[in-house]
Structure 1
Amino acid sequence: MSKVAVVYWSGTGNTEAMANAVVEGAKAAGAEVDLIFSDDFGPDKLDDYEAIAFGCPAMGNEELEESSFEPMFASVEGNLGGKKIAIFGSYEWNDGQWMRDWEERVKGGAGNLVYPALPAYDNPDADALEKCKELGKALA
């Protein structure tokens, strides 16, 4: 059984809803899953997981949340080699550039993206939540 971490930050609950759907999908595929708020994850936890889903909404000028999520992700991104990785999050303006930039960072850290980067506009609809479940299954 694989062990999966779903690490997220959410301000409005949209990305949290996505994270819960990722957890549901990974569990349905037989994985052991931990749902972890970004403040509670760091480099010391990387070895505990074979796969990690990171979730963060677009903030400001299409950036990762800067007080909790960005520092956490910056601390782990260079050590993602050999891990199955997926990224997801919600946005409400612009065109999702933050997700494309974030995807390049994951690839630069040698992370193995097992599912296409998954942005959802605003409050994730049923289709977006179904894709989150698929993402979770891909990590398992």
Structure 2
Amino acid sequence: MKVVYWSSTGNTERMAEMLAEEIKNAGGSAEVSEVSTVSPTDLEGETVFALGASAMGDEELDEGEMEPFVEEVEKFAAGKKVALFGSYDWGDGEWMRKWEERMKEAGAEVVGTVIANNEPGDDDQANLAELAKKLV
């Protein structure tokens, strides 16, 4: 299973690694990739995948890399099981709610979301473990 992320400070990168570890603990396999190293078409043949991103600006996705990637994924997301995760430093997680709604509108089955305030901790690890079980 592919876990693709964009991280501004390393917190979302850490979450991607944690999620991959939990997917393996749940009996699956995971390949973690930074968004700049993959193409949206790499996910097109997948039935299940995870996307992660930090909140930027006014609680939105990174406009340079992640937003264009997500726009392409939305074109083929229908029928896919998708997990969303990420970290933020301010606000209340609005970017994740908007992202989840977008993916649902594109026809994806969003199996869950996990957001961490800054550095992910033990509670986030537990939430990622639950998310991994839903993916596997």
| TM-score over 0.5 for the pair | yes
- Compared CA separation, residues 103 and 94, structure 1 to 2 (3 A): same
Pair 1:118-2:121 in alignment? no
Q: Which runs of 5+ in 1 are unaligned?
A: none
Pair 1:37-2:34 in alignment? yes
Q: CA deviation at 1:50?
A: 2.2
- Superposed CA RMSD in Å reads 1.3
SS of the equivalent of 1:32 reads coil
Deviates more, 1:24-33 or 1:37-46: 37-46
Amino acid at match of 2:18: A
Inter-partner Cα distance in structure 2 for 1:96 and 1:70: 17
Inter-partner Cα distance in structure 1 for 2:102 and 2:50: 14
The one of 3, 6, 14 aligned to 1:9 = 6
Aligned length, in residue pairs = 136
Q: CA deviation at 1:112?
A: 0.6
Inter-partner Cα distance in structure 2 for 1:34 and 1:85: 15
Q: Which runs of 5+ in 2 are unaligned?
A: none
SS of the equivalent of 1:134 reads helix
Equivalent residues of 1:39, 1:72 under 8 A apart: no
| Bigger RCO (CA 8 Å, 6+ sep) | 1
The one of 127, 132, 137 aligned to 2:133 = 137
Q: CA deviation at 1:42?
A: 2.8
